[in-house]
Amino acid sequence: MAARRYTEEHEWITVDGDVGTVGISDYAQEQLGDIVYIELPEAGRKLAQGDEAAVIESVKAASELYAPVDGEVVEVNRRLADEPGLVNADATGDGWFVKLRITDASQLDGLMDDAGYQEFVSNLE
């Protein structure tokens, strides 16, 4: 699996071939608190970088998951419908949201690597 890349909106993406798995960072799930509901997109939906891809509701707030790159939804994590708390338990593993067939891989170059993201988050606190 390729290195994880991050957006300033706290999404992450890992890429395998032309498919990226997308979720939210540990920092984001900590800020949201207990996640109680997730609305996922339908497979086949085309997203542009920055488009709202999913809705996340927690006990504290409602938030969105944005597409980190252009792509088409090829799979969603159906477990989140019944177990939204998976995101709190394992945000960068079993708590992934969608898999996208990436249509513009060059957009990955504009995302932060682990070190860049950690520095970004440390400046928020």
Supply the pTM of this predicted model.
0.95
Provide CATH code, domain 5-122: 2.40.50.100
**Domain boundary assignment for the chain:** 5-122
In the predicted structure, residue 26 carries a pLDDT above the cut 50: yes
Residue pLDDT, tens place only, 44-56? 999 999 999 999 9
The reported pLDDT for the residue numbered 1 is 45
Residue 2: which pLDDT band, with cuts at 50, 70 and 90? low
Per-residue pLDDT at 69: 98
Measured distance CA(24)–CA(65) in Å, rounded: 7
Cα distance between the two ends of the chain: 30
Integer Cα distance of 80 and 41 in angstroms: 12
